[in-house]
Amino acid sequence: MVDIPRAPKKKRNRYIFGGAGALLVAVLTLGLARLKPAAPTVDRATLWIDTVRQGTMVRQVRGPGTLVPEQIRYISAVTPGRIEKINLLPGQKVKKETVLLEISNPDVQLQLLDSERQLSAAQAELVNLRSTLEQNRLNQLAVVAQAKAAYNDAVRTAKLNEELAAKQLASAYDLAKAKEAVEEQKVRLDVEEERLRVQTEAMQRQIAVQEAQVARLKNIVEFRRSEIEAMRIQAGADGVLAEMPMQIGQWVTPGVTLAKVVEPGRLKAVLRIPETQAKDIVLGQPASIDTRNGFIPGHVMRIDPSAQNGTVGVDVALDVAGPLPPGARPDLSVDGTIEIERLTNVLYVGLPAYGQPNSTVGLFKLNDDGEAVRVSVKLGRSSVNTIEVLGGLKKGDTVILSDMSAWDQVDRVKVK
């Protein structure tokens, strides 16, 4: 027998092992390509984390403000003059009759003297007018008396002539003449009585006109005296002298503000609320004022009708019966919180750094394995520190409220 040589098998095995290796490499490459990139790590100490709660959420708005007096009395100059004396400085307590400062003006004093002179002359003229008119009235009254006597005498004469004529002792001429005399005296008496009446009425009107002139001059004198009194500037109310911008020797004109007096026990808070949050504020809502030395309850008493520089002014009345906290004084900077409403049985969480009311945002929700996954959360109404959750989260979920804009390109992070 002859042996037939066979081809060696080494080359074939090599191909098999090479193909298997290539297949393994391809499988590994495909698996690695499908693996998610490693999640970035975030330090828990740098995050603001909160838990979703369910219950009553109090909606509030907050804004800075100042304490201002409810009653402010601005004291203005009534007459022009020069400041001669300043009796008090700002910060001192004053009474209603306290004299704050004194001004002088010789022209005002001369005007008072001239008005007093005119009043005296008018009063003297009134006395003379009354005397003259009364004398004329008495003279006319005497004339009326004479005319009445003449009339009565003529009546008696005519009656006598009638009796004599009846006995044919007097002529018809004498009788006619006597009757004509009666008529003449009657007309004269009527004229004189009418003249007395007209004179009396005219006398009353003339006196009334002069009395009105005297009264007008009296008012002028009183006004001039009030100007003199007004040169001693009084506080006009009990309180604290807040401002005194005047200096000795300074000339002031009517209407210039000389001082400001406030009542420190009656203060209110004027808050500046962002106009986006002020739409839900109504009168009477409860509020709390932080004076940095205590909290004062209050309620909304007035809302500005227009916005200024993106804020709305809200006046808050302080509901305190006793003294205010120590340090509470006019122009003190405060923070105010106004309660808008109470939402019952709602889901809510702390206000995210970038969340807006009635919007949908992406928040990172923490899992039990220490990873935080981005979820879409629908937000509702907001408050100062909390916001309503309408969807995307449930009670007990833990979310990151910090600004996570640095990780906008990833959907999960590792929290350590």
Domains defined for the chain, CATH in brackets: 42-68+264-415 (2.40.30.170), 72-105+232-262 (2.40.50.100), 106-229 (1.10.287)
State residue 293's pLDDT score.
85
pLDDT at 184 over 90: no
pLDDT at 342 over 80: yes
Indicate the range of 102-106, 189-193, 328-332 predicted with least confidence: 328-332
For 89-111, b where at least 16 C-beta lie within 10 A, e where not — what string?
Answer: eeeeebeeebebbebebeebeeb
Strand partners, 398: 51
pLDDT at 373 over 80: yes
248 or 9, higher pLDDT? 248
pTM for this entry: 0.56
- From its phi and psi, is residue 294 left (phi > 0), alpha (psi between -120 and 50) or beta? left
Band of pLDDT at residue 32, cut at 50, 70 and 90: very low
Band of pLDDT at residue 117, cut at 50, 70 and 90: very high
State residue 113's pLDDT score.
92
Mean pLDDT of 326-354: 88
Band of pLDDT at residue 11, cut at 50, 70 and 90: low
Band of pLDDT at residue 19, cut at 50, 70 and 90: low
pLDDT at 182 over 80: yes
pLDDT at 33 over 60: no
Q: What is the pLDDT of residues 70-80, one digit of tens each?
A: 888 888 888 89
Q: What is the pLDDT of residues 293-321, one digit of tens each?
A: 888 899 999 999 888 888 999 999 998 87
User: How far apart are alpha carbons 279 and 311 in whole angstroms?
Assistant: 11
The residues, ordered by sequence, that sit 6+ positions from 82 with a Cβ below 8 Å of its Cβ are 103, 104, 105, 249, 250, 251, 252
Give the full edge-to-edge strand order of the sheet including 232-234.
232-234, 99-104, 81-86, 251-252
Mean pLDDT of 155-169: 81
pLDDT at 35 over 50: no
State residue 1's pLDDT score.
46
Q: Does an H or E element contain 239, and which?
A: strand 239-243
One-letter identity of residue 205: R
Q: What is the pLDDT of residues 266-282, one digit of tens each?
A: 788 999 999 888 888 99
Burial class, 195, CB count within 10 angstroms (exposed 0-12 / middle 13-18 / buried 19+): middle
Q: What is the pLDDT of residues 198-221, one digit of tens each?
A: 888 888 898 999 999 999 999 999
Q: Does an H or E element contain 366, and which?
A: strand 360-366
pLDDT at 290 over 80: yes
398 contacts 49 by C-beta, under 8 angstroms: yes
Indicate the range of 125-134, 164-173, 368-377, 382-391 predicted with least confidence: 164-173
Mean pLDDT for the chain overall: 85
376 contacts 362 by C-beta, under 8 angstroms: yes
